[in-house]
Amino acid sequence: MPDIQEIPEAIREATVNAKRQIPTGEGNGPIAVVSLSLYRFASPAARAWAVAQMGLARPALARAPGIGFRKLLGSGVGEGFTPRPNWAVWAILAEWPDAERARAAAAGDRPLCAWRARAEESLDLFLAPLSRRGRWSGAAPFEPAPPAAAEAPPGPIAALTRATLRPAALLRFWGREPAISAAIGANPDVLLKIGLGETPWLQQVTFSIWPDAAAMDRFARGGGPHAGAIAAARRNGWFAEELYARFAVIGRAGAWQGRDPLPGLPSVAARQGETA
């Protein structure tokens, strides 16, 4: 990882870890931090519990102090957009007023701590918004830092895409899914990738982490099935709503698929004694 002095000053002002920091606003306090928590449930009973939590956990999540935009998400098998549900993996996406609240919520707030206690493994990712275009359920979450502070710092960059598909476009869109999944899965640069969603087949989310912005741009703009699908969707009006966002990955805690997907990034959990 780069030395902290390589990161723009505004991104070094708040404390998440010693290497990647979140910018502060101009007179408006810290820029919001987004957490994405992934959970893998092993037993059939734990998976059935997770399915029920998609409805039951909503009130508790809404009462979490400081929480803003939030979503409970299922997942799909394969890479990227996928129509096949994965009953083992579920996620909580939430926006928090600052890094400290995001870290505290992931560690001790319900339902996040309850999900982690039942999960076979879990991973909390802490993200600083860099750019956002579009809307999600009519809202405009993930407000990025002021333009002077929003340049991508060195280090891992996350991309999130979310789309609501028009029912008439389902077959044409999903016909492109196998090629997209194969391209993402074969890309040597991607550090972590997962397909998430709210409503099967209709409301889908892709999330991926790349070593830097250049690697992400090579995939997104280098042609191939992913670029072709997005171009076709826009040309033919397949999406009723869409959102694209980029984030600096500023911290993480836990593991995924039995390993640390970001070994060069200091763990938030390991540094709590230093930054609390």
Query: For position 221, which CATH number holds?
Result: 3.30.70.100
SS3 state of residue 243: strand
pLDDT value at position 247? Answer: 94
* CA–CA dist 205, 133 (Å, integer): 14
Residue 186 lies inside a defined structural domain of this protein:
yes
The tokens 């029912």 sit on which residue? 167
Residue 272 lies inside a defined structural domain of this protein:
no
What sign does the CA torsion over 116, 122, 128, 131 have?
Answer: negative
Tell me which residue of 240, 77, 244 sits closest to 169, measured CA to CA.
Answer: 240
* CA–CA dist 208, 200 (Å, integer): 19
The residue segments making up the domain with residue 132 are: 4-252
CA distances from residue 50 to 23, 65, 107 in whole angstroms, order as listed:
34, 23, 18
Q: How many distinct structural domains can be found in the chain? A: 1
Which residues, listed in sequence order, are joined to residue 139 by a DSSP beta bridge? 136
On whether the CB atoms of residues 22 and 11 are closer than 8 A, the answer is yes
pLDDT value at position 182? Answer: 60
Q: What is the pLDDT along the chain (276 residues), one digit of tens a residue?
A: 332 223 233 333 333 333 344 443 333 444 689 999 999 999 999 999 999 999 999 999 999 999 999 999 999 876 555 677 899 999 999 999 998 999 999 988 888 999 999 999 999 999 999 999 999 999 999 988 766 455 556 789 999 988 887 877 776 776 666 556 665 656 678 889 888 988 777 788 889 899 888 888 877 766 555 556 666 667 766 787 889 999 999 999 999 999 888 877 666 543 333 333
- What does the angle CA 220 – CA 221 – CA 224 come to, to the nearest 5 degrees? 80
Tell me which residue of 272, 252, 19 sits closest to 158, measured CA to CA.
Answer: 252
Instruction: Supply the Cα-derived Rg of the chain in whole angstroms.
Output: 18
Residue 270 lies inside a defined structural domain of this protein:
no
SS3 state of residue 187: coil
On whether the CB atoms of residues 76 and 82 are closer than 8 A, the answer is yes
- What does the angle CA 186 – CA 187 – CA 193 come to, to the nearest 5 degrees? 90
Residue 59 lies inside a defined structural domain of this protein:
yes
Query: Measured in whole angstroms, how far is the alpha carbon of residue 60 from the centre of its chain?
Result: 21
Neighbours of 80 (CB within 10 A): 25
CA distances from residue 190 to 79, 128, 171, 271 in whole angstroms, order as listed:
11, 19, 27, 26
- What does the angle CA 74 – CA 203 – CA 247 come to, to the nearest 5 degrees? 75
* CA–CA dist 6, 2 (Å, integer): 6
φ/ψ (deg, to 5) at 21:
-125, 160
- What does the angle CA 111 – CA 207 – CA 38 come to, to the nearest 5 degrees? 25
Residue 273 lies inside a defined structural domain of this protein:
no
Residue 271 lies inside a defined structural domain of this protein:
no
Residue 258 lies inside a defined structural domain of this protein:
no
Residue 264 lies inside a defined structural domain of this protein:
no
